[in-house]
Amino acid sequence: MIEHLLSVFLGEKSYLSDDYIAKIAQNDVCSFINKNNEVTHGFLIANIEPKECIREYLPLDLESDDVIDTKRSDLSRKLIQVPYFDASEQLKAEFHLVSSKKVNTVLTYDCMKVVEDTRQMLHHFNVFNLLNTSFDKYHLMSYNPKSKCFSVNPKILYTHLTRTLVLSNINPEDALLVVVAHEIGHMLDDELNNKADEFVDTVNNIQLLSRKHEGSELSKRELNILRKELQKYQLMNLKFEANAWIIGLKFIPSNLKRYYKEQTEKMLYQNRIDMEMRMERIHLSLTNNF
Ligand SMILES: [Zn+2]
């Protein structure tokens, strides 16, 4: 069942044998048959990843440390030669399958497919606004109330979907539905629409100043402006985020309501933490540099 949904959602399905060469990339999700003959799933990881990173991606029910070990002698792992997905020529890279006796499905990351599935999901809710591809590293998906356009960062969205699958066992279609419902929630939020100009201008100002701040080029005056803009943003954003989650709930089928509520709490908390960290950084710059 899971395999079926995965292949419908993420596209190409390949069967591997020892000499099979598949198009797979780091962080792809694969489903495989574990030692107890059950179908389970995990990430594909490159052998250069440190242990800590790997643990983060492992399915929660996976047993113990032996499968996390990336030493070449580890028997629970299988080594395959694959052409690296993004390479212009067929560069060989080694990928390890975590705890797999036998892989039966490998799924490939396809940027256009992720964007297309997001578009289909919007259409499913009769939303036909423009959907842009973005490379904004902070948002998997966003809505601009001024231009009325949605943006999706396929790479971050894909990572979110695969992580959700592995860590929470939520299939990608359902996880995508939750993301899209939340964004439509933004679109339908009157409070946000009434403050669209003010909100988007604030976001733009923050982005501009933050970029300069990363290069530590801000004067004390600019840092104070950034702090004020962030405070203004925080007041609006926390409200708009809460609104979007409440409005988006009506698009969620009853079997997903629990997961949706967990996401709501998690994301609202995350928004707060992100904001506090950004304020802290400004505070540090102000106290250290001036
Ligand atoms: Zn949001």
How large a percentage of the chain has pLDDT more than 70?
Answer: 61
- Write down the pLDDT at residue 42: 56
Do the Cβ atoms of 144 and 200 come closer than 8 Å?
yes
Q: How confident is the model at residue 28 (pLDDT cuts 50, 70, 90)?
A: low
Calculate how far, in angstroms, residue 241's C-alpha sits from the geometric centre of ligand 1.
Answer: 5
96 pLDDT above the threshold of 80? no
Q: pLDDT tens digit string along 132-182?
A: 988 777 789 999 999 999 999 887 887 788 777 766 777 788 999 999 999
DSSP β-bridge partners for residue 97: 44, 78
- Write down the pLDDT at residue 282: 87
d(CA 273, CA 162): 24
Calculate how far, in angstroms, residue 85's C-alpha sits from the geometric centre of ligand 1.
Answer: 31
d(CA 210, CA 285): 12
Calculate how far, in angstroms, residue 141's C-alpha sits from the geometric centre of ligand 1.
Answer: 8
Highest mean pLDDT: which range of 33-37, 56-60, 77-81, 162-166: 162-166
Question: Hey, CA dihedral for 169, 172, 173, 176, is it positive or negative?
Answer: positive
The overall average pLDDT reported for the chain is 71
Q: pLDDT higher for 253 or 163?
A: 253
Calculate how far, in angstroms, residue 268's C-alpha sits from the geometric centre of ligand 1.
Answer: 9
Joined tokens for residue 54: 């790997």
Q: How confident is the model at residue 240 (pLDDT cuts 50, 70, 90)?
A: very high
Closest of 161, 159, 152 to residue 127, by C-alpha: 152
pTM to 2 decimal places: 0.69
Q: pLDDT higher for 77 or 246?
A: 246
Lowest-pLDDT range of 79-83, 236-240, 283-287: 79-83
Joined tokens for residue 88: 């212009």
Calculate how far, in angstroms, residue 113's C-alpha sits from the geometric centre of ligand 1.
Answer: 23
Torsion of CA 274, 278, 279, 283, to 10 degrees: 150
Q: In angstroms, what CA-CA distances link 227 with 58, 238, 276?
A: 38, 16, 11
